[in-house]
Amino acid sequence: MPRPHSVFITGASSGIGAALARRYAARGAAVGLFARRAVELDALTATLPAGRAVAYVGDVRDAAPLARAAADFIARFGPPDVVIANAGISRGVLTGEGNDLPAFRAVFDTNVIGLVHTFAPFLAAMNGAGQGALVGIASVAGFRGLPGSGAYSSSKAAAISYLESLRVEQRGTGVAVLTVCPGYIATPMTEQNPYPMPFLLDVDEAARRIVRAIDRRKCFYVLPWQMAVVGRLLRILPRPVYDAL
C-alpha cells in the first residue's frame, strides 16, 4: 500500500500512541494527536515536523471533542488515510467490590465506546474517498477472561467483536478495518504491573511492527508473534482446563 499522507491517533500523548505518531511523522505523514493530557501532547508535538502535527485535547469517552477534532483535521488535510483508535485504560477490579463499579464503567466507556466515538466522525469522509484504514488497538487480554481484570479483558473482547462487525460492514467500501492485539509492551500502562510479563516488547519496535501490519492491511494482527501462539492456545483450551490453570 502507498505510504499514508495523514494519520489520526487517539491516546497519542504516551506509549504506543506517541510511538506511532513519531514513526508516521518520520515517514512524512501529517498526524492528528488526540489525548487528555495537554502538556504531554504539546511536548510531543514540539518534537515533530512543524505544521505536520496538530494536537487536540479531549477524552474519547466524550463524542463532542472527537467530532470537532475530526472536522478540523479533515478541513486541514482531507479524509485521513489511517485512523488509529489507541486510547485505552486498565484497572484492576472485582465485581463484589462496590467501589469498583465506576472503574468498570470508565474502562468500558474508554476501551469500547471510545472506538465508536473515534471512528464515527471520520467514516462518511473516508467512505466518500473510498480508501483508508480504521485501526483499533485491542489486546491479547481479550482472548480469555483474566482474574482481577474483568473490566479490561471483557472490554478488549468487546472491542475485538466490535471491530469484526465493523470490518464486515465496511466490506466493499475501500475502507479497511484492522484489529491489533498487542501482548506486553513497555509503556507507562505496563510499567506498574507487579507480575512477570513474558515477551515484553519495546514500544518503538511495537510501533514499527504495527505500522507494517497497517501498510499490509492485515485484518487481525497479534504482536509479538510469541503472543500470537499463546493466544491461539488460550482460545482452544477447554474451559475446565483454563479454569484450573
Catalytic sites, residue numbers: 152
Q: Would you state the pLDDT for residue 48? A: 92
CA angle 7–12–18, rounded 5-degree value? 90
Q: Would you state the pLDDT for residue 195? A: 57
Query: Over 80: is that where the pLDDT of 110 sits?
Result: yes
| Over residues 199-219, mean pLDDT | 93
The mean-pLDDT minimum among 56-60, 85-89, 93-97, 130-134 falls in 93-97
**Residue 48's Cα: distance from chain center in Å?**
21
Q: What is Dmax (Cα atoms) for the chain?
A: 56
Of 164, 192, 165, the C-alpha closest to 180 is: 164
For 86, phi then psi, to 5°, come to -105, -20
The mean-pLDDT minimum among 15-19, 93-97, 132-136, 168-172 falls in 93-97
Residue 103 neighbours by CB distance under 10 Å:
18
pTM as predicted = 0.91
Q: Would you state the pLDDT for residue 191? A: 56
Alpha-carbon gap, residue 183 to 207, rounded angstroms: 13
- pLDDT > 70 fraction of the chain, expressed in percent and rounded: 93
Residue 163 neighbours by CB distance under 10 Å:
24
The mean-pLDDT minimum among 6-20, 136-150, 227-241 falls in 227-241
- Confidence band (pLDDT; 50, 70, 90) for 189? low
- Confidence band (pLDDT; 50, 70, 90) for 3? confident
CA distances from 97 to 94, 103, 154, 199 (A): 6, 11, 17, 32
CB distance 60 to 111 below 8 Å: no
Query: Over 60: is that where the pLDDT of 45 sits?
Result: yes
- Confidence band (pLDDT; 50, 70, 90) for 188? low
Alpha-carbon gap, residue 162 to 72, rounded angstroms: 26
For residue 177, the one-letter residue type is V
Of 119, 113, 110, the C-alpha closest to 152 is: 110
Average pLDDT, the chain: 90
Query: Over 80: is that where the pLDDT of 177 sits?
Result: yes
- pLDDT > 90 fraction of the chain, expressed in percent and rounded: 69
| Over residues 59-85, mean pLDDT | 97
Higher pLDDT, 134 or 1: 134
What are the counts of helices (DSSP H) followed by strands (DSSP E) for the chain?
9, 9
CB distance 203 to 185 below 8 Å: yes
